[in-house]
Amino acid sequence: MNPVNQLMTYFLIFLLMWVVFYLIGKKFNLKKHGIEIKPFILILRTKKVNQILEVAAKKTEKILPVLTNISLTLSVGLMVFGSFILTKNLFLFFCEVKKAAPIFPAIPLITVKESLPYFLISVIVLVFIHEFAHGIVARHEKIKVKSAGVM
């Protein structure tokens, strides 16, 4: 199967899956069970995740301020470093084209083709961990989390 047909197969399976989810959501009143299904959005709301966030915030109470300060410092440093690298590369692109590194954005179905399933799995895992960490820090900072879930 050539890459274009493979991509179309993935896309059609994904589209068919969402049509089925959406029709199930319309047929049954799943909102009362904490499940919202909209076009291309599946939201699972639960209070159990709030309890997990609360426990995680209490268990990491001593180390969390240190980790957040380190993260903040690293993020500022990495923004400066990234800006430097991009500016240097842009300068090389205009002055010495052969030395400039090619930079491509990761756009599904355009620049990410054959490895699309792996790309999507890694994005889902990283976004889940990232947002869960936001919830832990919010609870540590005494910010109320109304509901948590997966979208």
Query: Per residue in 92-108, pLDDT tens?
Result: 888 887 888 887 787 77
Residues 123-146 have a mean pLDDT of 90
Q: pLDDT tens digits for 31-75? A: 888 788 877 777 777 788 888 889 999 999 999 999 999 999 999
Res 72: pLDDT: 94
Q: Kindly list the domain boundaries of the chain, sorted by start residue.
A: 3-150
Residue type for 151, please?
M
Mean pLDDT of the chain: 85
Q: Closest Cα partner for 38 from 27, 23, 22, 19?
A: 22
Res 1: pLDDT: 65
**In this predicted model, which residue has the larger pLDDT, 102 or 132?**
132
Res 28: pLDDT: 84
Res 64: pLDDT: 93
Q: What is the rounded (10 degree) CA torsion for 65, 71, 72, 75?
A: 180
